[in-house]
Amino acid sequence: MSRRDIAWYEDPKLKSLYIKASSNAMRNYHGPIVSPKTTFTGTNSLIDFANHLGGFLSAEDKRVLLVVDKDLPKFGEKVAETLKSMKQIDSRIFSNVLPEVPRSTVMEAVEVCKEYDPKAIIAIGGGSAMDTAKMILLMYEKPEINLNNLMAPSYLGLRKKVYILAAIPTTSGTGSETTFIAVVTDTDREPPKKTEVVLYELCPDFVVLHTDFVKTMPPYLTMGTGMDALAHAMGSYVLTMSTEFTDINNLKAIQMILDYLPRAVKRGNDLEARSKMQLGSYIAGIGFGNVSGGVEHGLGHSFGALFHAHHGICVGLFLCISLAFQSKVTDRFKDLAKVFKIKIEDRPRDEILKELLEKLRAFMKSVGCPLSISELENPKVSREEYMSKMDQMIEYAFDDYTTLSSTRKLDPPTIRWMYEIAYENKLDDLMELFYK
């Protein structure tokens, strides 16, 4: 397999260089802060956005492609009606949004763009809808681009055909509305593999956070997406590449999720909790998006790709493993302990970490999140099936983009150890990741 057939972060030489660049010595060399230009919040946010979009687009350019989760047609219709009635903006809905974002689906939407010539693309949905919209923008404007060679600073000069990329999230967790990352499934590889496309120009220009789009989320989805946001903030906080800017976002997001996720899971019509979780997820997205996902994301991506469990639950299952592993070489976990109201003065490091893991596990249990693979119900995974796919999981996890930014070096035997622990996720086994 040539370098052009694999993602750049799978290339051993480039992987080694990137890991070195993630060290403390390089952290101030390249650190742009990327976030949406304007985010509209509150009960008037959709109207505010419509007014803004109407003022930006000229009369001959008022065509918008709405990329909508196929299970949420009412939200696409609501946005289309608002844009039309307020600013005479025409819309076309593309609803063939699939989980894992197959590249073939993206190219189907590109054909729609060639015929319709939209001047704005608006994603309405969860992570898959937003990742699909980002990839539509990229592949419509640069159809010949090799996704495997793209790195964040690879400025391509997008927005020549489509002027605006916007996002209206219908879940509170993925943070994709704030990031310059899109995950697409490369269906040309066998077996198909998730590929992270990282490009600053993929960050949405505008975001709408309105509780009408999240208040009907069922408890299981509320929990899963909330755990995704928590993993974003906690997993990235312990990474060496963190900065003061990402720290303030991640720490605040953790506190908001601890305070409001239990309420949102218990009472879906608690609009204060819904609003706070929207903002907490958004803040966590900015926090982790300007660092990287932690080890739990690489492990969760690979497990999820093979067993098709909810992404947020996948990364939640590996969050304790990530924290225990990284904490051997960093004291940043102590700041997380403070958020969980754990006393850290005059206490040994392992004692602080153990209490942090205990409190995190108690929180996960309180919102209905399984603590181990063995507890997972959707789907149920037997130990035999789990072990039969171990080698494939290890390969995927080692080649995941997030492996590059680990504070502590990762190799396949270590990843195997982590996966073996994860099936039961016993506290004593987790602490061994810290001790050894």
- Break the chain into its structural domains and give their ranges: 3-30+218-435, 38-213
pLDDT in tens, 43-79: 999 999 999 999 999 999 999 999 999 999 999 999 9
pLDDT in tens, 142-194: 999 888 778 777 889 999 999 999 999 999 999 999 999 998 887 766 666 67
Please state which of the ranges 25-29, 299-303, 358-362, 394-398 shows the lowest mean pLDDT.
25-29
Give the residue carrying structure tokens 């109207």: 47
The pLDDT value given to residue 186? 76
d(CA 288, CA 392): 27
Note the CATH architecture for domain 3-30+218-435.
Up-down Bundle (1.20)
Q: Is the pLDDT of residue 13 over 70?
A: no
The pLDDT value given to residue 183? 87
Share of the chain above pLDDT 90, in %: 81
Give the residue carrying structure tokens 């069922």: 218
Q: Is the pLDDT of residue 365 over 50?
A: yes
Q: Is the pLDDT of residue 29 over 80?
A: no
Q: Are 214 and 278 in contact (CB under 8 A)?
A: yes
**Nearest CA-CA partner of 188 in 6, 32, 355:** 6
Q: Is the pLDDT of residue 215 over 70?
A: yes
**Nearest CA-CA partner of 7 in 126, 139, 143, 152:** 152
The pLDDT value given to residue 236? 96
**Nearest CA-CA partner of 211 in 259, 166, 165, 171:** 171
Cis before residue 191, ω within 30 degrees of 0?
A: yes
Average pLDDT over residues 392-404: 90
Considering only residues 296 and 32, tell me which one the structure prediction assigns the higher pLDDT. Answer: 296
- Residue 208, beta-bridge partner list: 40
Phi, psi of 175 (to 5 degrees): 70, 5
Q: Quick one: pLDDT band at residue 252, thresholds 50, 70, 90?
A: very high
CATH of domain 38-213: 3.40.50.1970
Amino acid making up residue 28: N
